[in-house]
Structure 1
């Protein structure tokens, strides 16, 4: 039981140590989303050149990572 409590305490401590990364994470996530929006016009050409499955899989992966980084940065900024 003591180990579980200690691990929770360590997780809270590490959150305060990485709290300064909230703003860079928000900027990175917003930049990734902006880059995806900026490249919307090129996506059909890439799909023709490289295959629709590969391009749309990469797009979904890119957007998922962008949203994940934004969410992580937002949670750090809120202190959760």
Structure 2
């Protein structure tokens, strides 16, 4: 059976579903990420390939990889900032 989690559908493991819901919420509510970066990360959570995401957005899979990398770098910086001020 499929369970709806925001815009993501998952089956099975409740813990995995909760993790996906948690990360989806963080991505959607992030002020640091651009709309495009959010879309890419949300599709990646849905286990879409770079190539499929690229086709859907009319760009190459390589361009999607670069967007994903940039978004993850922003998250790492933010986490490091939070750890320094904790």
**TM-based fold match above 0.5:** no
Q: Higher helix share goes to which structure? A: 1
User: TM (normalized to structure 1)?
Assistant: 0.41
Q: By percentage of residues, which structure has more strand?
A: 2
Q: Which protein, 1 or 2, shows the higher relative CO under an 8 Å CA cutoff with sep ≥ 6?
A: 1
